Amino acid sequence: MNRNGKDHGRLLSSPVLSASAAVHLGAAAAVLAHPPTWAWALGAVAANHGVLAAAGLWPRSQLLGSNWVRLPADSGARGEVAITIDDGPDPEVTPQVLGQLAQHGARATFFCVGERVERHADIAREIVRCGHCIENHSQRHRHDFSLLGPRGMRDEIARAQDNIARLSGSTPRFFRAPAGLRNPFLDPVLASLALQLASWTRRGFDTVNGNADVVYRRLTHSLRGGDILLLHDGNAALGAAGRPVILDVLPRLLDRLRVLGLSPVTLRAARL
């Protein structure tokens, strides 16, 4: 099957997208067979688009295709938790984060921005050398990412994929959308690049809140095996002492995991 055929198959793989296709076909057929139904048909199509748009604005939704919001059940049963760290590499923060992880013997997953990997390729390589995984968080982290069409979305993701693989030496296997926002065009692009979408179980909102206590509590509230936690080494909010908040949260979080008998693993390791 050619790529378009494959993409089309994947586009309809989600029950909601299949239903959407049925709504469109049904509406068209109704208007053709009985033109006075046009107002009803238009309303059905508009409502359907509303559902798809809402699903794209809900980062943990499964409606637009496969999306990891927790680790696979086997991994959770082993007491594994994934710490994911977004928006880097950052020349000030990321090396300190790597040092904290090394002190605790912990592994993490870094969702990096392609153009930042181009600027800080040495740090990207260091992430991989330390045994962590580097994954795809788009080329430019555009705030209008979820409004892009299929071509724009492919461009953002494929360029990051090429840059990260070439400069870090490790080919990403997971993708996270900027701010977690997306649209129905994303899933076929990810399929063609063999990327799995990953969001999170819980996030600290640490790009907007510099209070380490609050961020820590958000992440550790009812923490259990299988959770995917989200922190930021890029765009990190600053705490009272002017320190990026992740640096005050991560050591406490790693201590807490140890007390609870949970082990931090990468998303790739959880998939095994």
The total of other beta-carbon atoms located within 10 Å of residue 98's CB is 21
The residue count for binding Zn ion (CB under 5 A) is 2
> Which of 7, 80, 86, 187 contacts Zn ion by CB under 5 A?
86
Minimum gap (Å) between residue 205 Cβ and Zn ion: 12
* Structural contact between residues 90 and 79, judged by C-beta atoms closer than 8 angstroms: no
* Structural contact between residues 97 and 255, judged by C-beta atoms closer than 8 angstroms: no
Site for Zn ion in 146-185 (CB under 5 A): none
> Which of 7, 80, 87, 227 contacts Zn ion by CB under 5 A?
87
Work out whether 80 is an interface residue with Zn ion (CB under 5 A): no
Work out whether 7 is an interface residue with Zn ion (CB under 5 A): no
Residue 51, token pair as written in the block: 């559902």
- Interface stretch with Zn ion, choices 67-75, 85-93, 162-170, 198-206 (CB under 5 A): 85-93
Give the rounded distance of the alpha carbon of 230 from its chain centre.
9
Is the CB of 10 or the CB of 137 nearer to Zn ion? 137
Measured between alpha carbons, how far is 49 from 63 in angstroms, rounded to an integer? 13
Least Cα distance to 182 among 43, 14, 8 occurs for 14
Is the CB of 7 or the CB of 156 nearer to Zn ion? 156
Least Cα distance to 266 among 99, 93, 163, 128 occurs for 128
Measured between alpha carbons, how far is 133 from 267 in angstroms, rounded to an integer? 8
Is the CB of 80 or the CB of 87 nearer to Zn ion? 87
Is the CB of 87 or the CB of 135 nearer to Zn ion? 87
Residues that bind Zn ion (CB under 5 A): 86-87
